[in-house]
């Protein structure tokens, strides 16, 4: 079956957070996709609605089996169903874990620049962010781990947790198995629990697949909580469903207590049937989606190379988010993003949202029909020219 990714959706006035904008504006910000999800998923949800009874739900064994079978098939990674716990989203599970596994005043380690909502989970919980800066090579436009600094921050007695983003948002970097092994080994050496957000793991567009952290050797996963979800993969963020995969039974019991204590362990009406349909029937849709988004990425790369050579794409291979170096135009991406919105109505994320050395970067969501991508590039071209004037 050939799926449709070319039809432009009218998402204004639909309670879409991303599309709560002025007429004529084009938001390429919040990480959801402007494509309809797989029809197989919609059919499963409609069937559930047709039952007409909307009481309390629980995650079934079929749900956990669907997760396990998906990771075995798509990523050649084995996870036992009894390792799994349902949660109402990756961020709710992270926030509950920060509360439960650390104390006020503790440090939670991040590798900057990184997904901005992690900071809410940490700071709103009364904990401190401690950051290890990824080293940026301005000639190759690539990032590298500062291993000395990372271990130094892990060794800090007040560092009790680390939040890892695998693959990485916003850079799109797919950590190698060796890198993940080293990170988890360092964390274990220093008694730090690692929470790995793998919400973008299904969205590796090209090159080697990502390594699910739960698939690494058991001697380094005893302090690991892996969080996965269908939300980014299948454009199902509003279903509020995720799975915690915790190989260590003692840590799993503590994680189970955390998500129940903070009431983020019960599914809504559509979370279970939607996720089961995604994992069991959504593979073909996803494979076509990734080819389409990769085509968008190649289009943008060629456009920028031809018309905007002062910009440089950071060569990440995962996610539908592009991280673009704009430092040759301005070191103040916040000012640039504000100008672009006023000038052409194109809305993008300034790199300052992601902390660290993000001030000279912008992030663009490219999960849109090609016509909107073409429109966005014309707006970007006009606005950068006007900004430089």
Dist. CA 157–CA 123, nearest whole Å:
19
Dist. CA 103–CA 106, nearest whole Å:
6
Taking only the tens place, the pLDDT of each residue in 300-313 is 999 999 999 999 99
Which uninterrupted H or E stretch holds 162?
A: strand 159-165
Backbone angles phi, psi at 286, to 5 degrees: -65, -40
Backbone angles phi, psi at 122, to 5 degrees: -85, -55
Taking only the tens place, the pLDDT of each residue in 114-165 is 999 999 999 999 999 999 999 999 999 999 999 999 999 999 999 999 999 9
DSSP character at residue 88: S
Dist. CA 170–CA 358, nearest whole Å:
10
Dist. CA 15–CA 17, nearest whole Å:
6
Taking only the tens place, the pLDDT of each residue in 265-303 is 999 999 999 999 999 999 999 999 999 999 999 999 999
* Bridge partner list, 161: 108, 193
> Which pTM value belongs to this model?
0.98
Using alpha carbons, list the distances in angstroms from residue 186 to 34, 59, 111, 128: 39, 34, 14, 20
Contacts 24+ apart (CB under 8 A), 233-236: 233/202, 233/203, 233/278, 233/282, 233/286, 234/37, 234/38, 234/41, 234/278, 234/282, 234/285, 234/286, 235/32, 235/33, 235/35, 235/36, 235/37, 235/367, 236/37, 236/41, 236/274, 236/275, 236/278
Q: For the chain, what is the mean pLDDT?
A: 98
* Bridge partner list, 55: none
Cα separation of the two ends of the chain? 49
Dist. CA 232–CA 364, nearest whole Å:
15
Residue 121, pLDDT score: 97
Instruction: Return all residues near 253 (Cβ < 8 A) that are at least 6 apart.
Output: none
Dist. CA 341–CA 274, nearest whole Å:
35
Taking only the tens place, the pLDDT of each residue in 156-191 is 999 999 999 999 999 999 999 999 999 999 999 999
Residue the block writes with tokens 């991040």: 110
The mean pLDDT of 255-271, rounded to a whole number, is 98
The mean pLDDT of 35-39, rounded to a whole number, is 98
Residue 341, pLDDT score: 98
Dist. CA 250–CA 259, nearest whole Å:
15
How far is residue 211 CA from its own chain's centroid?
A: 15
Q: How confident is the model at residue 260 (pLDDT cuts 50, 70, 90)?
A: very high
The mean pLDDT of 206-222, rounded to a whole number, is 98
Residue 28, pLDDT score: 98
Residue 33, pLDDT score: 98
Residue the block writes with tokens 């503790």: 106
């Amino acid at each position: 079956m050939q799926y449709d990714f070319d039809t432009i959706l009218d998402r204004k006035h639909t309670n879409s957070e991303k599309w709560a904008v002025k007429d004529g504006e084009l938001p390429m910000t919040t990480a959801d996709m402007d494509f309809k999800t797989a029809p197989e998923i919609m059919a499963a949800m409609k069937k559930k609605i047709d039952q007409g009874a909307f009481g309390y739900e629980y995650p079934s064994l079929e749900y956990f089996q669907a997760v396990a079978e998906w990771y075995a098939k798509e990523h050649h990674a084995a996870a036992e169903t009894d390792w799994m716990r349902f949660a109402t989203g990756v961020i709710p599970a992270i926030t509950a874990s920060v509360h439960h596994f650390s104390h006020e005043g503790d440090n939670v380690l991040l590798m900057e620049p990184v997904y901005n909502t992690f900071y809410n989970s940490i700071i709103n919980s009364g904990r401190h962010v401690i950051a290890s800066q990824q080293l940026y090579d301005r000639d190759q436009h690539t990032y590298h781990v500062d291993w000395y600094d990372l271990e130094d921050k892990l060794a800090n007695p007040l560092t009790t947790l680390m939040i890892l983003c695998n693959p990485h948002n916003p850079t799109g970097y797919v950590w190698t198995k060796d890198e993940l092994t080293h990170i988890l080994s360092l964390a274990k050496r220093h008694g730090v629990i690692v929470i790995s957000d793998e919400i973008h793991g299904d969205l590796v567009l090209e090159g080697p697949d990502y390594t699910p952290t739960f698939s690494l050797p058991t001697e380094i996963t005893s302090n690991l909580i892996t969080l996965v979800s269908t939300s980014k993969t299948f454009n199902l963020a509003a279903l509020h469903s995720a799975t915690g995969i915790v190989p260590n039974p003692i840590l799993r019991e503590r994680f189970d207590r955390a998500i129940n204590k903070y009431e983020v362990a019960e599914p809504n009406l559509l979370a279970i049937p939607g996720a089961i349909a995604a994992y069991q029937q959504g593979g073909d849709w996803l494979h076509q989606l990734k080819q389409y988004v990769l085509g968008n990425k190649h289009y943008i790369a060629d456009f920028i190379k031809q018309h905007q050579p002062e910009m440089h794409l950071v060569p990440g291979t995962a996610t539908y988010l592009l991280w673009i170096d704009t430092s040759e135009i301005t070191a103040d991406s916040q000012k640039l993003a504000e100008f672009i919105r006023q000038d052409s109505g194109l809305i993008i994320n300034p790199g300052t949202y992601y902390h660290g050395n993000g001030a000279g970067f912008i992030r663009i969501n490219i999960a849109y029909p090609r016509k909107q991508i073409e429109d966005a590039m014309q707006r970007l071209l006009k606005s950068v020219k006007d900004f430089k004037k």
